[in-house]
Amino acid sequence: MNFHVLTLFPDMIINGLNESITGRAIKNGIISVNAVDIREYSQNKHKKVDDYPYGGGAGMVMQAQPIYDAYADLTKKNGIVNPRVIYVTPQGHTFNQGMAKEFAKEDNLIFLCGHYEGVDERVLEEIVTDYVSIGDYVLTGGELPAMVMIDTISRLVKGVLNNEESAQTETFSNNLLEYPQYTRPEEFRGKKVPEVLLSGHHGNIEKWRLEKSLERTRKYRPDLLEK
């Protein structure tokens, strides 16, 4: 899987994803992350990429030309045709595990990160296929949301997680939150590990875990149970 990110802050993307499990997957050649600096495509002598909004109002708007040229160069250089281009924006559909699964089927994914007050609508109409938000709150830019999505999609790509990591029962895989986990020592600040987990009785352990999952889901995410 090749991730491409059109951004004004390429270092943020590269530095963030070069760590931990995504970093390992990059080193092993299972995924690649290519951050393209939109500013390099500015035709302005000061490398300006934004301007005042037509009609007035606060803030600046990212101009269409540098974004379009960055996209055109990226697709041409990499021989990518008809890619999915995800515009990361609070105005989009809310990202979830199901969307991640869909995106994980692609060979190439292009993310467009906005900044300032927005992006000229015409370039969005030209290149974007999916408008995706990571939740009902507003960040300063699209880089963190793009990294959130890339991380989530990456771990669904075959070979990114090792056996132990992927064998874990997962939150959301069955619309239930995960059960509580314990490790050594058996007692911490007077709190004991639940007896059943020390019993070695797999049937009872399974049952206990399912009960705890249901209890948690009922408490924190009752909306998941309705699904």
Nearer Cβ to ligand ADE (115/209): 115
Q: Does 112 bind ligand ADE (CB under 6 A)?
A: no
Assess 159 for contact with ligand ADE (CB under 6 A).
no
Q: What is the dihedral of CA 101, 104, 109, 111, to 10 degrees?
A: 40
For ligand ADE, give the closer residue by CB, 17 or 25: 17
* 3-class secondary structure, 179: coil
Among 22, 89, 152, 154, binds ligand ADE (CB under 6 A): 89
CB 133 within 8 A of CB 89: yes
Q: Does 142 bind ligand ADE (CB under 6 A)?
A: yes
Residues 69-88 that bind ligand ADE (CB under 6 A): 88
Sign of CA dihedral 81, 146, 153, 33: positive
Q: Which of 137, 158, 183, 189 binds ligand ADE (CB under 6 A)?
A: 137
Q: Looking up tokens 């993310």, which residue turns up?
A: 111
Q: Are 204 and 196 in contact (CB under 8 A)?
A: yes
147 binds ligand ADE (CB under 6 A): no
Q: Which is nearer to ligand ADE, 53 or 90 (CB)?
A: 90
Q: Taking the mean position of all CA atoms in its chain, how far away is CA 109?
A: 12
Q: Which of 117, 138, 115, 153 is nearest to 4 (CA)?
A: 153
Q: Which stretch binds ligand ADE (CB under 6 A): 50-58, 129-137, 155-163, 213-221?
A: 129-137
Tell me: does residue 157 bind ligand ADE (CB under 6 A).
no
Q: Does 152 bind ligand ADE (CB under 6 A)?
A: no
Which residue, among 117, 124, 120, 21, has the nearest Cα to 71 in the 3D structure? 124
Task: Based on the shown chain and the rule CB under 6 A, indicate whether residue 10 belongs to the binding site for ligand ADE.
Answer: no
Residue 3 Cβ vs ligand ADE, minimum distance, rounded to whole Å: 16
Shortest reach from residue 203's CB to ligand ADE, in Å: 43
Question: For residue 185, is the peptide bond before it cis, meaning its omega torsion is within 30 degrees of 0?
Answer: yes
Q: What is the DSSP string of 68-115?
A: HHHHHHHHHHHT--S-EEEEEEEEEEEP-HHHHHHHTT-SEEEEEE--
The yes or no reply on residue 42 touching ligand ADE (CB under 6 A) is no
Q: Does the footprint of ligand ADE cover residue 90 (CB under 6 A)?
A: yes
Single residue of 135, 159, 198, 218 touching ligand ADE by CB under 6 A: 135
Asked if 59 is part of the footprint of ligand ADE (rule: CB under 6 A), the reply reads no
Chain positions contacting ligand ADE, by CB under 6 A: 88-90, 133-135, 137-139, 142, 145
